[in-house]
Amino acid sequence: MTDVPDRDVLLEMQRRMIRIRRFDERASKMVKRGQIPGTVHTSIGQEAQVVGATMALGTQDYMTGNHRSHGHPIGKGAPLGPLMAELVGKGTGVCKGKGGSLHLADFAVGSLGESGIVGSSIPIATGAGLSAKVLGNGRVALAFFGDGAANQGCLYEAMNIAGVWKLPVIFLCENNQYALSTPAHTVTSGVIADRAAGFGMPGVRVENGQDVLAVYDAVSTAVARARADEGPTLVEVVTYRFNEHSEGLRLGVDYRNADEKAEWVAKDPIELFKAELVRRGVATEQELDQLAADVLAEVDEAVRFTDESPYPDPSVAFEDLYTDQPQQPALAGAHQ
Amino acid sequence: MTVMSYLGAIGAAQREAMQADERVIIIGEDVEANVYGTTGGSGKSRAQQGDFLQMFGKNRIRNTPISEEVIVGAAAGAAMTGLRPIVDLSYSSFLYMAMDQFVNQVAKNRYMFGGQASMPVVFRSAMFYGLNTGAHHSDRPYPMFMNVPGLKIVAPSSPSDAKGLLRAAVDSDDPVLIFEACILWGTKEDVDENEYRTPLGVGRTLRTGTDATIVAVSGAVPEAVAAADALAQEGISVEVFDPRTLVPLDVDGILQAAAKTGRLVVADPAHRTCSASSEISALAAEHIFDQLKGPIRRVTTPDTQIPFSPALEKQLYPNRSTIADAVRASLGERRHGTDGANGRTIADDSIDVKEVPAS
Ligand SMILES: Cc1ncc(C[n+]2csc(CCOP(=O)(O)OP(=O)(O)O)c2C)c(N)n1
Ligand SMILES: [Mg+2]
């Protein structure tokens, strides 16, 4: 067990969980109103799993993620305005409007990018761990991926190379028990965390992934191990997404039954942690309500920033492909 | 100047790059034991001076498992966070194992993240075509990657270019794929043993001429030069241009060379459809149509897989004879015993595979 974090850290955990919740609730609304184009996946219900992991990292540490993408950079401390602007496709977006919801990245806080290709960013985080090791800068890298991604081959190539090179990498499986409509147990042989044994690394299963401190504890242990040059850890966190796979998605089949849903929705990580903070005397209910209100104001501000931001100039489509070459639209055939 | 082979020049460039910058590391299968000949000294023995493992240590010489997907992705991730890796993927056919990482991560991350990422990483691979290695090891896959914006594509055809282009590739803050032709490994010439860079995107004129222009790629370049020299004996004056890098492509250089003579033959060892020759031909048709005196002709590998038997394989690639025939045809002369119209050629022994060192 790692030490109980101090008051500021505990409150910051709650703040970041609420940030994710309010941000995603707002994004969901904006999708319904047609204000956000494209596909959006929320982390509502999974906030403890996200924040327990990101808060165990420092800002300098690296992180990659997946399509369920907003929580990761928010959890890592990214400001909300440029994230929201990115979802809408504004020029002030964190990726200048070229990434969108699926591909958020904020390098300033170590967020190296979310991948729309399931599993594909795991090798990138592994490489960030390699650079940390070669340069000896003491950083660690964490790869978020789902239970669905846990069946991609690149995970096992990555775990093997991270194991054999003792890279400071944490493989963090967000087991929300479904990959879109597919229940994990129907496509997953054995227990995901147990797969670590095959690579000679610890495999930890956090059964109650709605408890932010349980996740924080497991990931902190993995981070300490990585920083001590003892190599990677696989952490599987069992959690649940409260919303549909993506916003606005309507499937004809009810692949998650109502009882199961109700049981998990009752385990709201934000409510649970609020009660815990009050119980421990860390803050009063009133103080925590104020904290939630402050976060709501942050989200309002992010939306205002987004609304006031211009769309990018069309020429931006031709930028950032290479570091040293302006694109040549004429030769590229785009403007002919 | 020192006489260097194509392979030796690559090794020299890697050594220079490793010595010049601590952030450069080498990642690949069997690089510790110098199996592919670019991570060792002048001799074969480990103990001899120049062994990379001894010079640079295990931290920077990264011998990998056979896991191309994570090799490519981890090199990309390392490049995004402060290293400048050179990845040796050995055979270019193995790039397909890492296609997702190349296309979805390496090529897209800088763009998709609005310029936040820079990706200074070099992926070297060798095209073992022409060496009776069969369909699984004989690919020339550079055109596939030309279709992926965000990658730079390099195809050196001489020892001095192999050295200078590799140094420029390591300096680049963007991902560079270098396709090396094994049939050129044994080629030797005087190479500057000092550090120099050959800029990406600048082609090279190997022969100047007035009657026709050959634009040739990779292993077809020495064949094009041989064709030009043979044609000179017949009084046909041929310009030979090697773009050297396919992305960025020296479009001006190609168009000028082609417009100069008005007759264009493009020689490319890749499969014909959507090859480098397709793009070069299309550019000429788009931009200098009025200056062309006749149809553009292409000499490529036909759209068939590569067979094992020497009796079958040799005929498939552009060679000096089929290239010369295409030039004669463009000048309205009869061909010498080949049917170049479909890029299909008859057997020819102008490529002596025995000169190529085994890996
Ligand atoms: C390589 C790839 N295959 C399929 C998809 C389509 N897809 C997007 S999300 C998803 C489910 C992913 O499930 P999981 O990894 O458990 O993440 P979760 O959505 O549950 O967070 C699928 C099948 C994809 N984006 N990429
Ligand atoms: Mg899932």
Task: Pick B2-191's CATH classification: 3.40.50.970, 3.40.50.300, 3.40.50.720, 3.40.630.30.
Answer: 3.40.50.970
Nearby residues of B294 by Cβ (< 8 Å), 6 or more positions away: B262, B263, B330, B332
Ligand 1 atom closest to Cα of residue A67? 9
Distance (Å) of CA B28 to CA A52, A161, B193 = 36, 12, 25
- Superfamily name and number for A7-252+265-305: Thiamin diphosphate (ThDP)-binding fold, Pyr/PP domains (3.40.50.970)
Out of B69, B75, B77, whose CB is closest to A125?
B77
Out of B25, B82, B111, whose CB is closest to A321?
B111
Instruction: Kindly report, residue by residue over B144-184, the tens digit of the pLDDT.
Output: 999 999 999 999 999 999 999 999 999 999 999 999 999 99
Q: Using a CB–CB cutoff of 8 Å, tell me whether A190 touches chain B.
A: no
Out of A97, A123, A153, whose CB is closest to B74?
A123
CATH topology identical between B2-191 and B204-340: yes
Looking at residue A3, its pLDDT comes to 79
**How do A178-179 and A182-183 pair as beta strands?**
antiparallel
B156 upstream amide cis, omega within 30 of 0? no
Tokens 């929300």 found at:
A176
Examine the pLDDT at B341 and tell me if it is beyond 60. Answer: no
Name the residue in chain B with its Cα closest to that of A152: B69
Lowest mean pLDDT, pick from A157-161, B217-221, B336-340: B336-340
Tokens 């222009």 found at:
B213
User: Which one, of B180, B108, B114, lies nearest residue B151 by Cα?
Assistant: B108
Looking at residue A335, its pLDDT comes to 35
Ligand 1 atom 8: the closest Cα is on which residue? A118
Examine the pLDDT at B336 and tell me if it is beyond 70. Answer: no
Looking at residue A4, its pLDDT comes to 84
Judging contacts by C-beta atoms under 8 Å, the chain A residues touching residue B109 are 113, 124
Name the residue in chain B with its Cα closest to that of A127: B74
Are B69 and A93 in contact (CB < 8 Å)?
A: no
CA distance B51 to B33: 9
Q: How confident is the model at residue B334 (pLDDT cuts 50, 70, 90)?
A: low
CA distance A324 to B174: 8
The C-alpha angle with vertex B200 and arms to A120 and B87, in degrees rounded to 5, equals 40
Instruction: Kindly report, residue by residue over A287-314, the tens digit of the pLDDT.
Output: 999 999 999 999 999 999 999 999 999 9
Whether residue A70 contacts residue A85, with contact meaning beta carbons closer than 8 Å, is answered with no
Phi and psi, residue A289, nearest 5°: -65, -40
Looking at residue A252, its pLDDT comes to 86
Pocket test for ligand 1, best of A39, A43, A67 (most atoms within 8 A of CB): A67
Question: For ligand 1, is residue A240 a contact (CB within 6 Å)?
Answer: no
Tokens 């924080």 found at:
A216
Judging contacts by C-beta atoms under 8 Å, the chain B residues touching residue A160 are 65, 67, 70
Helix (H, G, I), strand (E, B) or coil at A316: helix
What are the residue ranges spanned by the domains of chain B? 2-191, 204-340
Are B113 and A161 in contact (CB < 8 Å)?
A: no
Out of B69, B71, B116, whose CB is closest to A105?
B116
Judging contacts by C-beta atoms under 8 Å, the chain B residues touching residue A127 are 73-81
User: Helix/strand/coil (H, E, C) string of chain B?
Assistant: CEEEEHHHHHHHHHHHHHHHCCCCCEEECCCCCCCCCCCCCCCCCCCCCCCHHHHHCCCCEEECCCCHHHHHHHHHHHHHCCCCCEEEEEEHHHHHHHHHHHHHHHCCHHHHCCCCCCCCCEEEEEECCCCCCCCCCCCCCHHHHHCCCCCEEECCCCHHHHHHHHHHHHHCCCCEEEEEEHHHCCCEEEECCCCCCCCCCCCEEEECCCCEEEEECCCHHHHHHHHHHHHHHCCCCEEEEECCEEECCCHHHHHHHHHHHCCEEEEEEEECCCCHHHHHHHHHHHHCHHHCCCCCEEEEECCCCCCCCHHHHHHHCCCHHHHHHHHHHHCCCCCCCCCCCCCCCCCCCCCCHHHCCCC
The DSSP string of A53-116 is: HHTTS-TTSEEEE-SS-SHHHHHTT--HHHHHHHHHT-TTSTTTTSS-GGG--BGGGTEEEE-S
Are B110 and A126 in contact (CB < 8 Å)?
A: no
AA identity, residue B262: G
Q: How confident is the model at residue B50 (pLDDT cuts 50, 70, 90)?
A: confident
Residue to substitute from B56, B116, B154, B245, interface A, most A β-carbons within 10 A: B116
Ligand 1 atom closest to Cα of residue A246? 19
User: Which one, of B296, B9, B247, lies nearest residue A332 by Cα?
Assistant: B247
Whether residue A122 contacts residue A62, with contact meaning beta carbons closer than 8 Å, is answered with no
Lowest mean pLDDT, pick from A143-147, A253-257, B38-42, B343-347: B343-347
Burial of A135 (C-beta count, 10 Å sphere; 0-12/13-18/19+): middle
Q: How confident is the model at residue B344 (pLDDT cuts 50, 70, 90)?
A: very low
Q: How confident is the model at residue A83 (pLDDT cuts 50, 70, 90)?
A: very high
Average pLDDT over chain B, rounded to whole? Answer: 92
Are A98 and B62 in contact (CB < 8 Å)?
A: no
Phi and psi, residue B59, nearest 5°: -65, -30
Q: Using a CB–CB cutoff of 8 Å, tell me whether A293 touches chain B.
A: no
Examine the pLDDT at B343 and tell me if it is beyond 80. Answer: no
Instruction: Kindly report, residue by residue over A216-228, the tens digit of the pLDDT.
Output: 999 999 999 999 9
CA Rg, chain B, in Å? 20
Looking at residue A327, its pLDDT comes to 54
CA distance A184 to A182: 6
CA distance A248 to B186: 61
Looking at residue A176, its pLDDT comes to 98
Are A113 and B117 in contact (CB < 8 Å)?
A: yes
CA distance B358 to B12: 19
Looking at residue B48, its pLDDT comes to 61
* Distance, C-alpha A288 to centroid of its chain: 24
CA distance B283 to A304: 47
Judging contacts by C-beta atoms under 8 Å, the chain A residues touching residue B149 are 321
Distance (Å) of CA A29 to CA A24, A37, A43 = 9, 12, 14
Looking at residue B345, its pLDDT comes to 42
Q: Which helix (H) or strand (E) holds A268?
A: none
Interface of B with A in 85-124 (CB under 8 A): 100-101, 104-105, 109-118
Cα dihedral value A147, A179, A117, B111, nearest 10? -100
AA identity, residue A178: Y
Lowest mean pLDDT, pick from A202-206, B252-256, B331-335, B346-350: B346-350
Quickly count: other Cβ atoms within 10 Å of residue A281's Cβ.
8
Looking at residue B340, its pLDDT comes to 43
Quickly count: other Cβ atoms within 10 Å of residue A331's Cβ.
15
Instruction: Kindly report, residue by residue over A259-275, the tens digit of the pLDDT.
Output: 999 999 999 999 999 99
B325 CA: distance to closest CA in chain A (Å): 31
> Looking at residues B106-128, what average pLDDT do you find?
98
Cα dihedral value A125, A130, A135, A137, nearest 10? 50
Q: How confident is the model at residue B356 (pLDDT cuts 50, 70, 90)?
A: very low
User: Which one, of B78, B105, B142, lies nearest residue B279 by Cα?
Assistant: B142
Examine the pLDDT at A166 and tell me if it is beyond 70. Answer: yes
B275 CA: distance to closest CA in chain A (Å): 16
CA distance A153 to A159: 10
Distance (Å) of CA A38 to CA A31, A69, A87, A309, A316 = 8, 14, 9, 19, 19
Pocket test for ligand 1, best of A69, A102, A118 (most atoms within 8 A of CB): A118
Average pLDDT over chain A, rounded to whole? Answer: 96
User: Which one, of A47, A67, A41, A87, lies nearest residue A245 by Cα?
Assistant: A41
Out of A96, A103, A161, whose CB is closest to B65?
A161
Q: Using a CB–CB cutoff of 8 Å, tell me whether A232 touches chain B.
A: no
Ligand 2 centre to CA of A239 (Å) is 9
CA distance A222 to A142: 10
Instruction: Kindly report, residue by residue over B119-146, the tens digit of the pLDDT.
Output: 999 999 999 999 999 999 999 999 999 9
Residue A197, both tokens? 């044994």
Judging contacts by C-beta atoms under 8 Å, the chain A residues touching residue B78 are 127-128, 130-131, 134
Whether residue B338 contacts residue B323, with contact meaning beta carbons closer than 8 Å, is answered with no
CATH code at B204-340: 3.40.50.920
Instruction: Kindly report, residue by residue over A35-63, the tens digit of the pLDDT.
Output: 999 999 999 999 999 999 999 999 999 99
Tokens 């000169």 found at:
B355
CA distance A175 to A46: 10
Examine the pLDDT at B35 and tell me if it is beyond 70. Answer: yes
AA identity, residue A136: G
User: Which one, of B184, B239, B114, B277, lies nearest residue A93 by Cα?
Assistant: B114
User: B287 catalytic, yes or no?
Assistant: no
Q: Using a CB–CB cutoff of 8 Å, tell me whether B57 touches chain A.
A: no
User: Which one, of A160, A153, A77, A146, lies nearest residue A115 by Cα?
Assistant: A146
